[in-house]
Structure 1
């Protein structure tokens, strides 16, 4: 429905195929997780997935209008609708991000948006993670709203270059900042962003001048997880923090890396503070996995300590289940259990999660 800007999809529909269904008519679906080629919309709803462009457009919950859901007693119910202002309590907000614990979604109504007039990324290289993190914080403080701000550090840059050959600079950290709009709007936004970047003494500033160059800038970022997976076992986390805490958290992760004796590669959605540290370990080395898990738990506790949360888009599942007490008070956890009891009184859906 283009006039009302929504699309209804059923089970099995992948994230990328939603945009594929509407892009010829000038529309797109905003959430774009790195796994968008394979991940299903139902899974995106379960985890409240985001992606590189969530800084401007929000995550799944901001783009989900309604669902058809089968409850555990067999009842088929409609929650939400075709508009953002559906009446009643926000039960849709309860369903989105519930990790499949409350019911089975069989149909979803998603918000689609007109494609922007234009978009342009700029690549920035810096000589430290902390400086790159401070640059992100300063861009957000300036009131500019890029469509995306992505971060990669040296280990990830090197792995990506060997894998995708995107032409990235040899630096400690890089940012990909993308803005969109009319040519005048793009120039105005990038003017502010580049002025901020120059105050942090970048080792490289590369503004895209063509669609081909834009695709090349994004190539490495979109290949990052596959590139890292080819060279090492890793555990990926997704704690989320206030953007102004980026320099401190990146420094602490580097310190903890030395304490635990495991390397870390950072690649994440910097604009909204959604961290994705990749802890590198050897699955064949006895004890390495346990050290990796302990390291990961400390990173997530750090995220909570600075005012963030355990998960931004990957969910709690089993991995973070025992860390819930670090973020939530007993009363909060009890309220969540009562919601579970209402939807699934016999605890048949994901009972161990």
Structure 2
């Protein structure tokens, strides 16, 4: 599990649980009921998976240095860099455990908020799905979800209050363990941005009130579009609409077909990362393709990489192996 706690906390939380609702239900006599039930089960299953991974799995670390090797903190408080354990004393290991605890706490809180938000959205989605069968317009769908957005935003913003403790733990660990420093990329400005909804841009002279409005609109648009997509997929099960499954991301002319789940992308210092809430991690750097720590043949512009099947990588329809 790779965690970037301070970057776009609110929109990622809101969009991640929405994307988890996008698989179609099987054809049945009651497509609406089956579709909503299936989506609800997926959300809870994703939350349980996050909880399990946080308790028993390694937590991957990110770095602003494009050349930094992969790193992770184990449940025992060990630092792994490029798969190798870094020697630490008792004090350093205690600091690693504290930092991991802070990271895990934020991730779990985010999963819980996503679950709460999904429950609220389900209610609105149920009404909107009924509207599909009754010929409801987009405005009807918008009204069905608008009231839910504000409550979800308020809950998600509480994550920002947890970031100062994480920054403090990071600073103490970086001071005590030099090998960790390339992965200590969080700064106070990110906490400030989180409280300002992540859209304040002083260089452009944007006011805080404008930033809040922009975030609110972006979040609600994401909620509305996500629910609309879910409605289309539920309707597809009843044979009244068509929609694809999973997510598609295009980077540098290469199309990535991803499994359903919350998708985040980040490009910095020549490195592009794609992460899916199911644990899939993709990294493009110096013309190389890395998937969950393994290198694969470099993609070509105009190509297609299919990652929708677990543990299988297809390039232009052909299964390829790690090099």
With the shorter chain as reference, the TM-score category is under 0.3
Question: Greater RCO between the two (CA within 8 Å, min separation 6)?
Answer: 2
Structure with greater proportional helix content: 2
The TM-score normalised by the length of structure 1 is: 0.25
TM-score under structure 2 length normalisation: 0.27
